[in-house]
């Protein structure tokens, strides 16, 4: 938004009228007057930014992290649209009105930094990472060449190298991507290119029918990747899981043989470390044995669970990850960098990432540059313009160190242990399975349903409990937690505990609030 003040505003109106009277061709003086004046008033813009930042600080970072404030100020869609006055008009608004709009956006948005926001696989705020996010936006550069992003080209490689070392690789490659889904798509595309490099030039005509393997609990991005890349969702073979939600290696072997018997060519196995609902970790060692024996690309989707690698106590959950060909890791989840921050990490040292995706755009990647052209990493990406996602993670890591990040992971697990112990002491809370990670899945059984488990309508009545409690908590703004049906089970709550701002008091409040909101159902 640009503002005109004093004489500049008068000149603007005058020149607008002048356009209606004469053409630019017959009035070269008009063009000179306009182009010799500064269109943007930096002073006024910076004044607005300062005031807007104060609103953000108060509404989002002070109130938004205060347990005495609401997690959300719920409004029905039509009411919210009217409150926000979303229509875009011909003329601009005053700074005063715009600051009110900033305040309204903050007021009516969900406060994901709130200690009682348990709804998603991200929560809380790290202020150093947030400073990195602000700085990233202000610098507004694209992560594709050293000449326009020298700091971030070097920084990205340092951060990726550190993440790879935690996986167990001394060398490799990687890139930051716009989310875990895209990171998983990269892995599938790279696996196909390694197996059939001619696909880049000749397309699907050069390919046999391909087969992908993923567990029944894998993220839906596997299906999206197969559809997007022309492999086809019918060629994704879903592997059975055990009671904990972990891939069954024996069934993986059987599914591979099934695919072969149907004339398909297996090429890609998608394992998961930290499934979305159950928080399950696939047995990576056994899966790696199979992939190595059959020459298949092994990818580990650790978008959610990858941060256990920071913890000496819990990294055993990903034992064998170093044997994978690629790993997806989302630091914007458990590491709290803020959305979005997702990396695809590769063991490969042959520049496969670049060979697969490069288009050699000469206006960006000139071969006669005065610096080392290998620093121009943009051709590794399927994007052209690419947002800087490394700064927030780098600055946070500098601030708290690896030990601080490890402490956050261990703290989350400790809160889960406390929560589960408290649930077991209370009537009405029924764990669906013992949590392996920080996903706590449970039913709340209201007093009216207790002891009534054998009635024919029990499951139907139970399925309505979680949605009703969710509606009540949202409308009252006290907290947020997710629910879903899954694997033949009716709606149950999925509690996620990751924010370092959370205390045992918040865990106790959560249980008390579920009881309060559901006692009359």
Q: Which alpha helices (H) appear in 109-149, and where do they start and end?
A: 127-139
CATH architecture of 142-387: 3-Layer(aba) Sandwich (3.40)
Task: Tokens for 249, please give them.
Answer: 């290696």
Fold agreement (142-387, 401-518):
no
Segments of the chain with pLDDT less than 50: 1-27, 29-30
Choose among 408, 420, 396: nearest CA to 510.
420
Task: Tokens for 226, please give them.
Answer: 């197969």
The DSSP secondary-structure symbol of 57 reads I
Quote the pLDDT of residue 31: 61
Quote the pLDDT of residue 247: 98
CATH architecture of 401-518: Alpha-Beta Complex (3.90)
Decide: 476 and 516 in contact? Cβ < 8 Å: no
Quote the pLDDT of residue 25: 43
Task: Tokens for 363, please give them.
Answer: 């206006």
pTM of the model: 0.91
Angle, helices 42-56 vs 95-108, to 10°: value is 30
Between the CA of residue 488 and those of 21, 40, 431, 459, what are the distances in Å?
72, 59, 16, 11
Q: How many CB atoms lie within 10 A of CB 299?
A: 29
For residue range 189-226, list pLDDT tens digits in order: 999 999 999 999 999 998 999 999 999 999 999 999 99
Choose among 170, 141, 173: nearest CA to 157.
173
Spans of all domains in the chain: 42-71+73-109, 142-387, 401-518
* Three-state secondary-structure class, residue 381: coil
Q: Strand 342-346 and strand 439-444: pairing?
A: unpaired
Decide: 497 and 118 in contact? Cβ < 8 Å: yes
Q: Strand 173-177 and strand 342-346: pairing?
A: antiparallel
Quote the pLDDT of residue 20: 44
Backbone region of residue 172 per phi and psi (left: phi > 0; alpha: psi in -120 to 50; beta: other values): left
Quote the pLDDT of residue 12: 43
Decide: 3 and 41 in contact? Cβ < 8 Å: yes
For residue range 454-466, list pLDDT tens digits in order: 999 999 999 999 9
Quote the pLDDT of residue 32: 64
Quote the pLDDT of residue 366: 87
* Three-state secondary-structure class, residue 236: strand
Between the CA of residue 65 and those of 55, 69, 121, 415, what are the distances in Å?
14, 8, 18, 19
């Amino acid at each position: 938004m640009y503002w005109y003040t004093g004489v500049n505003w008068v000149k603007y109106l005058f020149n607008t009228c002048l356009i209606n009277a004469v053409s630019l061709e017959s009035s070269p003086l008009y063009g000179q007057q306009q182009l010799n004046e500064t269109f943007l008033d930096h002073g006024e813009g910076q004044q607005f930014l300062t005031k807007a930042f104060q609103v953000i600080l108060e509404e989002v970072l002070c109130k938004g992290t205060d347990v005495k404030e609401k997690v959300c100020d719920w409004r029905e869609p039509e009411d919210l649209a009217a409150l926000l006055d979303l229509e875009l008009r011909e003329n601009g608004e005053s700074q005063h009105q715009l600051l009110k709009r900033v305040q309204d956006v903050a007021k009516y948005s969900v406060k994901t930094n709130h200690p009682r926001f348990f709804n998603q696989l991200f929560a809380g705020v790290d202020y150093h990472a947030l400073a990195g996010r602000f700085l990233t936006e202000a610098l507004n550069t694209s992560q594709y060449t050293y000449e326009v992003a020298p700091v971030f080209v070097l920084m990205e490689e340092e951060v990726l190298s550190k993440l790879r070392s935690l996986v167990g690789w001394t060398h490799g490659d990687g890139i930051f991507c716009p989310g875990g889904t895209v990171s998983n798509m990269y892995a599938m595309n790279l696996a196909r290119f390694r197996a059939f490099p001619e696909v880049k030039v000749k397309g699907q005509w050069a390919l046999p029918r391909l087969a992908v393997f993923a567990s029944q609990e894998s993220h839906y991005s596997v299906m999206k990747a197969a559809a997007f890349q022309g492999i086809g969702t019918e060629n994704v073979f879903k592997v059975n899981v055990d009671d904990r939600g972990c891939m069954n290696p024996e069934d993986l072997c059987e599914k591979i043989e099934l695919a072969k018997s149907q004339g398909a060519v297996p090429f890609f196995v998608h394992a998961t470390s930290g499934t979305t609902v159950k928080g399950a970790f696939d047995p990576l060692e056994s899966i790696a044995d199979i992939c190595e024996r059959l020459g298949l690309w092994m990818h580990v989707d650790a978008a959610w669970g990858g941060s256990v690698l920071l913890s000496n106590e819990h990294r055993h959950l990903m034992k064998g990850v170093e044997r994978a060909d690629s790993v997806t890791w989302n630091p914007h989840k458990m590491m709290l960098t803020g959305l979005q921050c997702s990396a695809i990490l590769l063991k490969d040292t042959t520049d496969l990432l670049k060979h697969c995706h490069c288009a050699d755009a000469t206006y960006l990647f000139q071969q006669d540059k005065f610096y080392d052209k290998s620093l121009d990493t943009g051709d590794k990406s399927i994007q052209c313009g690419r947002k800087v996602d490394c700064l927030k993670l780098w600055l946070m890591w500098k601030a708290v160190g690896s030990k601080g990040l490890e402490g956050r992971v261990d703290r989350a697990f400790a809160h889960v242990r406390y929560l589960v112990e408290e649930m077991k002491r209370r009537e009405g809370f029924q764990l669906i399975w013992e949590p392996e990670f920080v996903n706590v899945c449970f039913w709340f059984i209201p007093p009216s349903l207790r002891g009534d488990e054998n009635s024919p309508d029990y499951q139907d009545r139970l399925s309505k409990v979680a949605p009703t409690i969710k509606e009540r908590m949202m409308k009252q703004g006290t907290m947020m937690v997710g629910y879903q049906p899954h694997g033949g089970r009716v709606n149950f709550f999925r509690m996620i505990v990751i924010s370092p701002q959370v205390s045992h008091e918040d865990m106790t409040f959560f249980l008390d609030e579920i009881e309060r909101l559901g006692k009359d159902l």
